[in-house]
């Protein structure tokens, strides 16, 4: 009995010594090796952002909006198997009739297993959070708030054209996301006037009885030193998808960008996709704890321009999103 106790003690010591000598990152490294790391050209994504901004503020009913819409349609036609343009008219908060387009690029239309990727392509008609009150009714470039997500998705479309995924992918550029009432307006407006494009698509999808395993929305994904958190609406509707994406991002070494911090829910296009279609969709959107709103510091200001777009952030979000697509079984 005494020898057995000595043997047991020696065994425990050896096990403890082995555990201490084992490299702590072995499990993560093995997991990382099993992930297909995709190609993503940050310079190309940046050019897609730059091209959108070059048209001017993409406010519905404007010439810049029309020209940029045509550009996005033509770009998706270069890469996708098919493109559907969903034209519609909708009333804004003040009764203005807005002429809009949801632009949908489709890969592998025969596949029943599908994933939805989205971003909004319109820009805000009001710089209502600009530090200068004189600018509050001036349209913004929306380089980050709109164009960054679209730029990343255009580069993703280009990559999917070069290397097909094992599943079908639908890329939707939602319109009229950012035409809500000015935040400094004293008038109280009733109704839901944000995200009008996703509300329309949710009620009238481009394919009858459309279904997808899940969706990923990209919004404000080009800011310098951006961090992306577990946003509340995503956490409520699609916690498993949120964990899947964040885990892949962290396994790829992007812990500095994808944080395990839970932050308040926001109203964005993913809210209406979840609410209307029941497709679990998450939002990759920058969170900034130093601002009053929690959004990027240039949000809804004239400083949301090309000078504040960071190629590395575009690359990180693009690579993680593509890794999710290519590793989907």
What torsion do the CA atoms of 313, 316, 318, 321 make, to the nearest 10 degrees? -130
Distance, CA of 286 to CA of 306 (rounded, Å): 17
What letter does residue 217 receive in the DSSP assignment?
E
| pLDDT confidence of residue 134 | 98
| pLDDT confidence of residue 107 | 98
| pLDDT confidence of residue 57 | 98
* Token pair in block for residue 271: 């809210």
Alpha helices by DSSP H, listed for the chain, are 2-21, 26-33, 42-54, 63-79, 149-162, 196-203, 232-237, 239-251, 269-272, 311-326
* Token pair in block for residue 39: 């190609």
What torsion do the CA atoms of 287, 289, 295, 300 make, to the nearest 10 degrees? -150
Q: What is the pLDDT of residues 107-132, one digit of tens each?
A: 999 999 999 999 999 999 999 999 99
| pLDDT confidence of residue 14 | 35
Q: How many CB atoms lie within 10 A of CB 70?
A: 14
| pLDDT confidence of residue 191 | 86
Q: Which residue has the tokens 């200001």?
A: 301
Q: What is the pLDDT of residues 238-258, one digit of tens each?
A: 999 999 999 999 999 999 999
| pLDDT confidence of residue 33 | 52
Q: Which residues of the chain have pLDDT under 70?
A: 1-33
| pLDDT confidence of residue 74 | 98
**DSSP per-residue string spanning 274-302:** IIII---EEEEEB--TTSSSSS-TTTTST
């Amino acid at each position: 009995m005494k020898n057995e106790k000595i043997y047991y003690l020696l065994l425990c010591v050896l096990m403890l010594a082995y555990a201490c000598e084992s490299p702590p990152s072995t499990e993560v490294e093995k997991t990382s090796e099993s992930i297909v790391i995709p190609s993503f050209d940050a310079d190309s994504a940046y050019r897609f952002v730059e091209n959108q901004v070059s048209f001017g503020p993409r406010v519905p009913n404007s010439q810049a909006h029309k020209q940029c819409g045509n550009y996005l349609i033509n770009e998706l036609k270069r890469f996708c198997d098919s493109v559907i343009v969903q034209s519609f008219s909708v009333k804004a908060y003040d009764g203005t009739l807005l002429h809009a387009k949801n632009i949908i690029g489709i890969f592998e239309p025969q596949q029943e297993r599908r994933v939805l990727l989205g971003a909004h392509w319109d820009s805000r008609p009001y710089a209502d959070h600009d530090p200068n009150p004189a600018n509050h009714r001036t349209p913004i470039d929306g380089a980050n708030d709109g164009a960054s997500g679209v730029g990343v998705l255009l580069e993703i479309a280009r990559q999917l054209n070069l290397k097909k995924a094992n599943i079908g992918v639908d890329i939707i550029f939602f319109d009229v996301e950012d035409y809500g009432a000015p935040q400094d307006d004293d008038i109280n407006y009733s109704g839901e006037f944000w995200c009008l494009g996703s509300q329309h698509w949710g009620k009238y999808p481009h394919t009858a009885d459309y279904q997808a395993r899940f969706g990923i929305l990209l919004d404000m994904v080009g800011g310098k030193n951006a961090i992306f958190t577990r946003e509340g609406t995503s956490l409520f509707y699609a916690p498993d998808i949120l964990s899947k994406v964040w885990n892949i991002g962290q396994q790829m070494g992007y812990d500095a960008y994808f944080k395990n911090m839970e932050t308040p829910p926001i109203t964005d296009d993913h809210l209406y996709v979840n609410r209307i279609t029941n497709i679990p969709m998450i939002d990759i959107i920058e969170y900034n704890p130093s601002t009053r709103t929690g959004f990027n510091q240039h949000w809804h200001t004239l400083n949301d321009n090309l000078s504040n777009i960071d190629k590395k952030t575009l690359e990180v979000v693009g690579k993680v999103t593509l890794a999710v697509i290519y590793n989907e079984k």
